[in-house]
Amino acid sequence: MRWDRLFDDLESQLEQELDAEQSDLVAEEERLRLGRLALRDRLTEMVRADAGAELDLLLRDGSRILLAVASSGRDWVAGELRGDTRVRAACILPLSSIGAVAPRGDQLAVSLGAPPVGDPQPALSARLGLGFVLRELSRRRSPVDLVTSWGRLHGTIDRIGRDHLDLAEHEPGAQRRGRAVRRTLLVPFGEVLLVRY
């Protein structure tokens, strides 16, 4: 009878140690998973979970915007600015311009969720860089408002380089014509906070 109790105690201790080891392993795997999450992953998960979700973003210059994300790429998000009284409220935002994200409601918890299981190949837009999207605006000759870390500009994007853009600065409402262009600026992507078009 004593042996039975001894073996029961040993078995109980072994089960507790195995359970504790399993719990530690699960906790460590979760820490590793969270450590691999990028800001883009978390923003994408917030938007995926609630299609009409607005992201409350603080930019590096201290300005605050509400963005209803329509699409995202490797290093950018695009969507509609909310709370903006201007007619043109579509914008492209480099991820590097985000100073902070202020999650609303359950967005924080949702952002920590595992990405959906499925096609391991990301969508084409998820692989496209900022230069590709800006090149499309350049092709369309769309006038843009360019918000940089040092000021706001208006003009038309003439060219896109690997890490910069050429902006022909002109008055809002004016067509990009030779005489209307005040100057052309070469603006590094790192200075671009927001492109409104």
DSSP secondary structure string for all residues of the chain: -HHHHHHHHHHHHHHHHHHHHHHHHHHHHHHHHHHT--HHHHHHHHHHHSTTPEEEEEETTS-EEEEEEEEE-SSEEEEEEES--SS--EEEEEGGGEEEE---TTHHHHHTSPPPSS-SSPPHHHH--HHHHHHHHHHHT-EEEEEETTEEEEEEEEEE-SSEEEEEE--TT----TTT--EEEEEEGGGEEEEE-
Residue 11: is its pLDDT beyond 80? Answer: no
Residue 158: is its pLDDT beyond 90? Answer: yes
How confident is the prediction for the chain on average, in pLDDT?
86
Residue range 85-105: mean pLDDT, rounded: 87
| pTM higher than the cut 0.75 | yes
Q: What is the pLDDT of residue 113?
A: 83
Query: What do you get for the CA distance between the two ends of the chain, in Å?
Result: 83
Q: What is the pLDDT of residue 45?
A: 87
User: For 38-85, what is each residue's pLDDT tens digit?
Assistant: 898 888 888 887 766 789 999 999 999 999 998 889 999 999 998 765
Q: What is the pLDDT of residue 66?
A: 94
Own/partner pairs, 140-143, CB within 8 angstroms, 24+ separation: 141/176, 142/197, 143/170, 143/172, 143/176, 143/197
**116 pLDDT band (50/70/90 cuts)?**
low
Q: What is the pLDDT of residue 64?
A: 94
d(CA 177, CA 90): 24
Burial 171-189, CB ≥16 within 10 A → b, else e: eeeeebeeeebeeebebeb
Number of Cβ within a 10 Å radius of residue 118:
6
Q: What is the pLDDT of residue 88?
A: 55
Q: What is the pLDDT of residue 86?
A: 57
Residue 87: is its pLDDT beyond 60? Answer: no
